[in-house]
Amino acid sequence: MAVSADYKIFIEELFRPLGNVKVRNLFGGAGVFVQLEHGDVMFALIASQTLYLKVDDTNRGDFEDEGMGAFVYGGNKSKEASMSYYEVPERLYDDAEEFTEWARKALDIAHLAKIKKPKKKAKGQKKPKP
């Protein structure tokens, strides 16, 4: 299900304290990106008008303590897969300061993951010989 234009605007305003945040359509939902020195970083996603933030071992417990779960995709139970994004607790929408703290953690996690990720080689480029 596509993300509505109004919801995209709401999300961009919600994340304004993090900088220039843009919501882009992808795979029937949307990704939430911010531009940093290493390029655009996706730190949140939207599926069915539900917002999910990037997690790792440093913040996953915060979401689990709130009873929130991972974003899961796939057509049937045997083919479901989860991603390292967890649903945002509803109460955070009423506390802009705490919401921004959680969002900043998610952005830091996504940024670090992008920095650590090996760069792809250009097509036709040969691997160096050992």
pLDDT by residue (tens digit) across 87-106? 999 999 999 999 999 999 99
Residue 2, Cβ density class (10 Å: 0-12 exposed, 13-18 middle, ≥19 buried): exposed
User: Between 128 and 16, where is the model more confident?
Assistant: 16
Looking at residues 69-79, what average pLDDT do you find? 74
Q: From CA 91, how far away is CA 93, in angstroms rounded?
A: 5
Can you list the domains of the chain with their CATH numbers?
5-116 (3.30.1460.30)
Looking at residues 21-39, what average pLDDT do you find? 88
**Worst-scoring range by mean pLDDT, 31-35, 118-122, 126-130?**
126-130
Q: Which pLDDT band holds residue 76 (cuts at 50, 70, 90)? A: low
Q: From CA 62, how far away is CA 91, in angstroms rounded?
A: 13
pTM surpassing 0.85?
no
Computed over every residue of the chain, the mean pLDDT equals: 86
